[in-house]
Structure 1
């Protein structure tokens, strides 16, 4: 009996195609189900043999690590920085922004909690 391998709900088409290609290249047999006309069924990729799951997981983990490294390289090339990098570069500005967000959230929620009555 088959086993669920990869849910396709809200998965971009290129990513789903990459998973299909990965499984095909490794000669792992699989089949797909779609969500149906009303979106009530499970759109997913299913492995035909449950014994292939460990090998497929290892292949997918390698693919995801490679994809993550490529994405980080593209962000670095484009001059984008992560949240941690931004905090390390300007910690006071980052903390001030967090405090401003917390103050706005506090002032927005307080009238509904009854604390001002």
Structure 2
């Protein structure tokens, strides 16, 4: 029976490509499910053989440790260089997106507070 190795929700394309390449390099049979059209399921990478799942998880743990160290080093280097993304750089690059996000947050807070305001009045 197939076992889920990696849920593809919020997984960057480069990470999914790395996992596929890792499984191919180690000759672990897998298949991939695609995300649903309406976003209910996000797709995943599944190992087809029960015997291979232990090895796949071991390789995945090693890969995740290496990726974490690499990405953290890249982020630290970007912070030192001053090129890391901050709230202010996003605000300058995409002011409409930031304004709409803040507006959405305020609307949601208003909806949450509405019952309290109505009950007091």
- TM-score category by the smaller chain? 0.5 to 0.7
Q: Secondary structure at the match of 1:61?
A: helix
Cα separation, 1, equivalents of 2:4 and 2:18: 17
Query: Unmatched 5+ residue regions in structure 2?
Result: 82-112, 117-121
Cα separation, 1, equivalents of 2:37 and 2:74: 38
Cα separation, 1, equivalents of 2:40 and 2:76: 40
**Poorly superposed stretches of 4+, deviation over 4 Å:** none
How many matched pairs? Answer: 89
Please give the TM-score of this superposition, normalised by the length of structure 2: 0.59
Please give the TM-score of this superposition, normalised by the length of structure 1: 0.61
Query: Unmatched 5+ residue regions in structure 1?
Result: 81-108, 113-117
Structure 1 residue aligned with 2:22: 22
Q: Secondary structure at the match of 1:66?
A: helix
Structure 1 residue aligned with 2:47: 47
- Once the two structures are superposed, the pairs formed by residues 32-111 of structure 1 within 5 Å of their partners are 32-41=32-41, 43-78=43-78, 79=80
The alpha-carbon deviation at position 40 of structure 1 amounts to: 3.7
Greater gyration radius: 1
